[in-house]
Structure 1
Amino acid sequence: MSAAGLLTVRGLVAGYGAAPVLHAVDLRVPRGAIVAVVGANGAGKTTLLRSLSGMLPLTAGRITLDGEDLRGVPVEQLVRRGLAHVPEGRGVVAELTVDENLRLGGLWRRDRADAARALDEVYQLFEPLARRRRQLGHQLSGGERQMLALGRALVGRPRVLLLDEPSLGLAPRVVAQIMALLRQLRDGTGLTVLLVEQNVRSALSVADQGVVMALGRVVATAPAARLRDDEDLRHAYLGF
């Protein structure tokens, strides 16, 4: 894992209307790492991902991907440059089949042969999806929908995956599978992941680094294992 910051945030201020939610947020996501952003409800975690993916305009600050300034870049161009966002709630198109949902993730790609290879790789990675490729999105279980949302993002071969609350509403067994998959992707493909997660234990168990947010600010950044072992910090900000 390289120490170089693939995704870097400096002085980010963003919010809804005139009220800022994020206050001068600094963040660095090293290449090939899983960085978990944790904190209580209302800490600004989802707002952070929406700002990074272009869904929410910045009031101030700078976002760079591999040194390239992303401020003002349209959402569709961010995807082409390697930034994939899997939002909370998964966002599966219920009326489309599994296969159609996955193909949406690669529609913009010019290398059709590699897009087809990426689709095959997703089916190998998610065997339940391969078995249900002709079924509609609304016919899937919660865990399968999460796999589908992840798979659709991976078909685009992102450099950075922004993943918002992947454990939401899922059984503990399925959550463990999703977290193990993230580790597998990091180790096997070098995928860089910025993970926002309410399930703090699960997030820190898979992450290389942890970032703790409170009231729209970063209050701690450290190796994930150190955050797990810091009793005072856990009690103050993480609730366990």
Structure 2
Amino acid sequence: MTGVLEVEAVSAGYGPVPVLRDVTFAVPAGTIAAVLGANGAGKTTLLRTLSGLLRPTGGRVRFDGADLRGVRVERLVRRGLAHVPEGRGVVAELTVEENLRLGGLWRGDRADARRAQDEVYELFPALARRRRHAGHQLSGGERQMLALGRALIARPRLLLLDEPSLGLAPKVTAQIMALLRRLCDERGLTVLLVEQNVRSALSVADQGVVMSLGRVVTAAPAARLRDDDQLRHAYLGF
């Protein structure tokens, strides 16, 4: 098993309650892996474990070949891992520009931080137009763009993204999915995407990781999952 991200027999939970059980898969560089499954399958817990917010009770996680056990969250960010949790996480009282600055606070080079911010404005022209607006003044789609842009300020190599389409119009969802595909193809970004909109996720993903009750049912190319009627009906709801 090789990849930018390697998850090997990982188990995790909350207190005595197990959620993940022997989860194993790998994500190659420059690809999108969609983590799919019903509510309660363990998808969000998986992202929290990979980003260091939740300590695994078993197994191993490697990022660029390095074992992540015991690595603090801020060090993971410096190594090139970014996590956008469900709910967008925008600071409502701060402007777009101030929110973006939060993503680059750890950078010692102010000029580079500014260049990174300009890159985000190029990716999201809507944010450039509303840079002086507070987070609470943005639409749902703009808030999702801001949350994603703040993560991209750090120029991550691996992006963990939890339910980016939640509550968004189909057109905005399609724009965000297309952007993720472009970032992978043009910049070599690697994405682990948790998404309830299965059709949308599989339309841009290279592989799908299907979970049920905390276990991986299958990890296969996205095209194969789209064509597997039995698996889709059993676990993906379409």
Normalising by the smaller structure, the TM-score range is over 0.9
1:194 aligned partner, one-letter code:
L
2:203 matches 1:209: no
Instruction: Give the total of aligned pairs.
Output: 238
Q: Please, which of 68, 71, 76 is the counterpart of residue 70 of structure 1?
A: 68
Deviation at 1:4, TM superposition (A): 4.7
2:34 matches 1:36: yes
Structure 2: where are the runs of 5+ without partners?
none
Q: Secondary structure at the match of 1:58?
A: coil
Structure 1 segment 211-230 matched on structure 2, within 5 A: 211-230=209-228
Q: Judge conservation of contact 1:87–1:164 (CA < 8 Å) in 2.
A: yes
Q: Percent identity?
A: 78
Aligned to 1:157: 155
Q: Deviations over 1:58-105 (max 9, x none)?
A: 111111111111111111111111110000001000111000000111
Taking the aligned partners of 1:51 and 1:65, their CA distance within structure 2 comes to 13
Aligned to 2:116: 118
Aligned to 1:102: 100
Aligned to 2:125: 127
Aligned to 2:138: 140
Q: TM-score, normalised by structure 1?
A: 0.97
Q: Please, which of 23, 26, 32 is the counterpart of residue 21 of structure 2?
A: 23
Q: Secondary structure at the match of 1:5?
A: coil
Structure 1: where are the runs of 5+ without partners?
none
**Structure 1 stretches of 4+ moved >4 Å:** none
Q: Please, which of 148, 161, 165 is the counterpart of residue 167 of structure 1?
A: 165
Aligned to 1:195: 193
Q: Judge conservation of contact 1:126–1:147 (CA < 8 Å) in 2.
A: yes
Q: Deviations over 1:115-172 (max 9, x none)?
A: 2111101001100100000000011000000000000000001010000000000011
Q: Judge conservation of contact 1:4–1:31 (CA < 8 Å) in 2.
A: no
Taking the aligned partners of 1:237 and 1:220, their CA distance within structure 2 comes to 10
Q: TM-score, normalised by structure 2?
A: 0.98
CA RMSD between the two structures:
1.0
Deviation at 1:111, TM superposition (A): 2.9
